[in-house]
Structure formats: structure tokens, C-alpha cells
């Protein structure tokens, strides 16, 4: 009986610590596009990164991948279709 009580108490005490650790990790958004950073879409991606990170106080991090450095057009669409819903 004491062992069960101790195990339950330990689980209750450790739960908030695990939740706090999970909340500290930022959400990562990978913004892939096929144009240069100087193109209008490239500038918009950089502006989105700045705004998303500032409005969320660092809880969201945006990684911008210009010039098809992460995906080509066709691969990008396939990756979006495969992403979890």
C-alpha cells in the first residue's frame, strides 16, 4: 500500500516538471520556397519569420529555406501531403 501511495505521489510531483520542459521547446516552422531571398516572396518569408517569432515571444521559431534549398516545387507539395494532420 505504501509503495503504491509513494508511486502515485511521485507521478503527481514529476508531471508538472515534464510539462514545463515540453512547453519550453519552441514550435519549429520550416518555410520552404523556390525564389531568392530578394524576391517579393523571399522578403515576405523573412517578414513572416520576424513577426511570428516576435508575436509568440520565441515560442515559435521559423526556419526559412530559399532557392529550393529544402524542397523543389514538386517535393514540397508531396511533403505537405504527407505531413501529419
Mean pLDDT value across the chain:
80
More confident residue, 15 or 68: 68
pTM score > 0.75 for this model? Answer: no
**Looking at per-residue confidence, does 76 or 68 come out higher?**
68
- What DSSP letter does each residue of 30-66 carry, written as one string? EEE-SS-TTSHHHHHHHHHHHHHHHHTTTSEEEEEE-
Amino acid at each position: 500500500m505504501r509503495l503504491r501511495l509513494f508511486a502515485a505521489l511521485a507521478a503527481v510531483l514529476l508531471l508538472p516538471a515534464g510539462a514545463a520542459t515540453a512547453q519550453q521547446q519552441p514550435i519549429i516552422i520550416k518555410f520552404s520556397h523556390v525564389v531568392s531571398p530578394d524576391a517579393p516572396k523571399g522578403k515576405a518569408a523573412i517578414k513572416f519569420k520576424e513577426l511570428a517569432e516576435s508575436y509568440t515571444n520565441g515560442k515559435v521559431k521559423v526556419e526559412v529555406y530559399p532557392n529550393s534549398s529544402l524542397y523543389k516545387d514538386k517535393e514540397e507539395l508531396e511533403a505537405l501531403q504527407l505531413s501529419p494532420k
